[in-house]
Structures are given as C-alpha cells and as structure tokens.
Amino acid sequence: MSGGAAKRGRDDDDDEELDKLRPVPEPAAKWYWKEEPHRIGQHDKSRTLKPNWVEYDTGKTVEIEKAFRAFKEQGGAATLSMTIAGKAITVQFAKMEQVNDATGWKRKMHRVQADVIVIEDDSGGDGGCASKKQKGDANSARPPAKLVRRNSSGSMGAPNTAVAAAGGKDKVQDKTIEKMIALAKNWEPDNKKHDPTGMIMSEKLDGVRCFWNGKGLYTRTGHLIPAPANFVQGFPSDMFLDGELFIDRGKFNEVSGLARTLQSEPRAWKPVTYVVFDAPQVKGGLMTRLAAAKAKLDGVCKFARILEQVVCKGHDHVIQELARIEALVPPGEGLMLRHPTAEHKGGRSADLLKVKTQHDAEAVVTGHEQVCLHTHTHVRARAHTHTHTHTHTHVCVCVCVCV
C-alpha cells in the first residue's frame, strides 16, 4: 500500500503567506481578450474597450505581461500556460491569442500601454523623472506612457492608497506590530487547561490577518497592505484594531491577491470587509475591547464590522458549532476560542485557541494487532496524536498514518 500525506486546508499559521510574498507590482500595460459582440454588454463597461475587448483581471494581467516582456526582450517562451475561470488556457504571444486547451477555441488578445509606467529609483529622491523615452508598442492603441519615478521605499504617492490616507506617511513596514499580534494554540479536547466553558467563541475566517495601527493596514509581521483610501475611510486614528480582510468563505485566494497588489483599483475592494476581532490597546476583557471598537466603527466605517461572538457553553457546544460551520456551503474553516477576561497580549498563548477538523480520505491505524483501512474525522489536537472513534466498538487513542 502506497503512502502519502493527507491534503490539508489552510491553517492560521499560514497567515505568513502574505509576509513571504512581496506585493504584486502594477503591470506596464493592460491586456484584453476579444468577446463575442453579442455578449460584450454583459461585462463591466469600465473594463471594456470598443468594439468588444474585455480586460483581464489584475493578477492575470501581471502574469501575462511578465511572460510577454520576457518573450519580447529576452527571447523567452512564446507561450504561457494559465488557468482562467477553471479552464486551462495557453497564451500564444506570436499570434496574440489565447487557446482553450480542451476545446481548441481561440480568442484574440490585445495589449494596451498603461497610462503610467513605474520605474525604480534607488536614489531615495522623488524628483527629476528619468528622461529616457518610452517606445510605443506595436499592439498599443495609445501613445507612449508617462514615466513616474518610484523611490526605493516603494512609494509612488498615489492618491488612492492607504499611505495617502494616513497623511502621506510612507511607512511600508511597522516592526512593532509583530510583537502585538496574538497567536493561537491548538485546542486539545482532553486538556483540562483547555476547558472551553465560558470562553468567547467565533468562526475562524478564511481571510488575511490584518492589523490597523491608526494609520494603515499591515500584515501580522508589519508589512503595509496598500488598501485604497476609501476602504479605510473612517477607521479610528486613535485605536489599534486586529482583524481579517475577508470576502467570503472559500475566497482566500481572491482577498490575498488584492492585499498583495500595489495600486489596486477601489472597485476591486468593494467585496472586501475588514472583520475586527480585537482592539489590542483597550484595557479590559475581550468583550470590553470589542465594545470600544464597535463604538468607533458603527455608522462611520463602510467596510469594517465586528466579528460575531458567542459565549461557549462547553465541550459539546464546540463540537456542535464546529459541525455547523463545516456544513455550510462553502464550508467554514473552523472556530476560535478566546479567554473572556484576559487582557490582550502578543505572542502564542492558551488565551486564544483554534479548533479545526481535519478530514483524511484514508488512514492506516497502527498499534493494533490488525490494520484497519477506514475514513475518519478527528479534531486536530497535538502534532501527530489524535483522539477519535475507531471502527470497532471501543474508543482508542492511536497514531494515524495517512495514505
């Protein structure tokens, strides 16, 4: 029997995903695909060109532009394989068309030079834009783009970013944030110290961990998230907030892509909400801190809200609520348990516990005279040891090796 690792979902320790990935730069051009004339009216007019061109989303545009420039300037590959709307697509730069790998259906592509191209400047200054000329593109419908200098800090001083909203202060990293972030331990059902009774319980969101320091939104290790100014409008300048950028269950990739995109357009952030689950600097227990945050946000912040919380009644309540969350379509990630009266403190502690169910398609249970192949569900506890009901009539503690 062959062995293999079980496929697992995203964990909250994977919040480092954003910190390991540098922001996606804005492309030097916009890319469009050719729609059927009778369908062009179904698309957002702001993302179309006459007669019937439809703009790719920012993430795909960055990917296409990078490969295109490598092809044109460095003799790179003439094709690019990618997935669009769940379909395998091959982009052919020489023919300027995309081909559906399954059906062979072809669509013409169109490249339009962007209005502004950012060039890097390590001098640290913000004046004296480079004087070199930008050549027009053979596929461009526009004149050569305007060059704008960006200094080594990454700032372009654009009016639609949170940097501008914070009074123009270009602080791309705040190293003090990491020490303030509270991190969760795994909930261990058999650990008496992890008795959930009376703890504050909430859904574990499938989003991007995000800290508001009164001036801007940052990742948990303190890197600036360039949200549009209208998104953070009304956020309190005198209160720190801890929360998550969230679109919906199963939409992690979409929200993380936005959080990593420099100069993303405000309309792209419309489905995003900043869901707040703590106000670290406020004195008192969790509900006191959240009440203070709610008083600051209600009626003022269009894109922020407080995460719903309930008081946990005990072990069975956790299991029931976890089952409810996982039965949603798409399913939720799990639950978080927070100490009701403890003051906020940074670092990992039992004041914050995460509860997730891990599903293994198949597993071999070792440590018995017979080896049993079965499907099981267990509450994630320690690194490798799990408590679950065996297919036999008794309850056992065993080590599971996924295959």
Secondary structure, 3-state, 317-361: HHHHHHHHHHCCCCCCCEEEEECCCCCCCCEEEEEEEEECEEEEE
What single letter denotes the amino acid at residue 39? R
Written as six digits, the tokens of 99 are 């081909």
Sign of CA dihedral 185, 191, 196, 202: positive
What single letter denotes the amino acid at residue 110? H
Which residue out of 34, 204, 296, 356 is catalytically annotated?
Answer: 204
204 is catalytic: yes
Written as six digits, the tokens of 12 are 């909250």
Cα–Cα distance list, 74 to 17, 68, 69, 71, 91 (Å): 30, 10, 7, 6, 17
**CA–CA dist 280, 347 (Å, integer):** 12
The residue behind tokens 């399954």 is 102
Per DSSP, 307 falls in state P
Per DSSP, 262 falls in state T
Q: Long-range CB contacts (< 8 A, 24+ apart) of 41-49?
A: 46/267, 49/110, 49/112, 49/141
Beta bridge partners of 355: 335
Active-site residues: which are they? 204
